[in-house]
Amino acid sequence: MCDVTIYRNNLKTSPVKNGHISREDLFNHCNEKLIIGGGWGFSKGKEPKNYQDAINIAKEEFPKNTGCKKLINALSEMKENDLVWTRCGGNYYLCRVKSGWEYCSSEQANEFDMHQIAKVYDYVKIGAEDKIPTKVLNSFRSPLTLQKIDSDIICKLSKHLYNKKTNEYIYKDARNFEIGEETFFEFVHPKEMECLVALYLQKEKGYLLYSDTNRKSTPVYEYVLVKEDEDNHLAYVQVKTGDESLDATKTDYKELTKNKQDKVYLFTVDGSHYGEVEGKQNNIFFISKKEIVEFVYKYPRIIPEKIRDWLKK
């Protein structure tokens, strides 16, 4: 169980939605003031004295909308050294929490609609989308202003990234962070998974990738590789990143290998394997998750930079 709670804060208040200020202006304001949070300002004269007072006013002012109450609750649960993911202009940041919920009624709070806030120590730039775990990216799809990311492995990775970017090592238990087979695939984006399988086949099996074969018009396979050997055969690759199972006896795969030279390679993250023995008889092979993880650690210099950042240094 992680001792730190990880949150996601979507900085997009009413002035941004209405076009009065830009998202960058709001982000710069929050960065300068070292705050995170959201809007939901109360009527003049109804400034809350404490958290419970704020909840009662929220129920009165926004009886049909629970967004304010959810935001206040989340902010009130924050404790020092919790971490908050936020983003702006294509870049993602981690903020280390200094203190939990406060209500702000200043002129700037009105201008930017940042009333329900928590204070943070910093805004630490982690990088663009290609450096961010998939689970963090997906969390921004939610309409909620602020929400928890419930994942022990995301917690450990967030602490590791914060340590690495600041060189302060606030989170001493994250010094030796390492992703293993049981957690590795929680982080990898579908396109990155296709890339890793292609790299594996090129480096370990001696294939060369036909880059122009990666098309949506070929649902049976992701791309095609070629091997410079006696029969100059092709390899068709199918990659599934969810819980989709793969069956090596499928007619579509057999059609690809009917010349007895070409091959099919199948990989699924959470799905089951079917027909492995019969598949081998027809040049249809499964790639295991263990093979991919071992490959990543064996050749860290050639894998995508984001994944390299996750590996134990």
pLDDT at residue 313 in the model: 46
Band the pLDDT of 68: cuts 50, 70, 90: very high
What residue ranges define each of the domains in the chain, with the CATH number in brackets? 6-177 (3.10.590), 190-309 (3.40.1350.10)
pLDDT above 70 (res 240): yes
> Rounded to an integer, what distance in angstroms lies between the CA atom of residue 160 and that of residue 301?
20
* pLDDT above 90: percentage of residues in the chain: 64
pLDDT tens digits, one per residue of 135-194:
898 899 889 999 999 988 889 889 989 998 999 889 998 877 766 666 778 777 778 889
pLDDT tens digits, one per residue of 110-125:
999 999 999 999 999 9
Name residue 262's amino acid.
D
pLDDT at residue 176 in the model: 73
pLDDT at residue 30 in the model: 97
pLDDT above 80 (res 261): yes
Q: Which residue has the higher pLDDT, 36 or 213?
A: 36
Q: Which residue has the higher pLDDT, 182 or 44?
A: 44
Band the pLDDT of 241: cuts 50, 70, 90: confident
pLDDT at residue 180 in the model: 66
> Rounded to an integer, what distance in angstroms lies between the CA atom of residue 13 and that of residue 10?
9
pLDDT above 90 (res 269): no
CB-based burial label for 27 (10 Å; 0-12, 13-18, 19+): buried
Torsion of CA 17, 18, 20, 25, to 10 degrees: 0
Those residues with Cβ within 8 angstroms of residue 39's Cβ, 6 or more apart along the chain or in another chain: 13, 14, 113, 114, 115, 116, 145
The whole-chain average pLDDT of the chain stands at 90
Residue 93 β-bridge partners: 86, 125
* Contacts by residues 168-176 (CB-CB < 8 Å, ≥ 24 positions apart): 170/81, 170/96, 171/4, 171/81, 173/3, 176/312
pLDDT above 70 (res 226): yes
**Average confidence (pLDDT) over 211-233:** 83
> Rounded to an integer, what distance in angstroms lies between the CA atom of residue 308 and that of residue 301?
8
First-to-last CA distance in the chain?
A: 23
* Cβ pair 92, 128 in contact under 8 A: yes
* Cβ pair 193, 266 in contact under 8 A: no
3-state secondary structure of 81: coil
Q: Which of 146-155, 195-204, 212-221, 235-244 has the lowest mean pLDDT?
A: 212-221
Q: Which residue has the higher pLDDT, 306 or 25?
A: 25
pLDDT at residue 254 in the model: 94
Residue 50 β-bridge partners: none
Those residues with Cβ within 8 angstroms of residue 136's Cβ, 6 or more apart along the chain or in another chain: 8, 85, 92, 149, 154, 158
pLDDT at residue 309 in the model: 67
pLDDT tens digits, one per residue of 73-96:
999 999 999 999 999 999 999 999
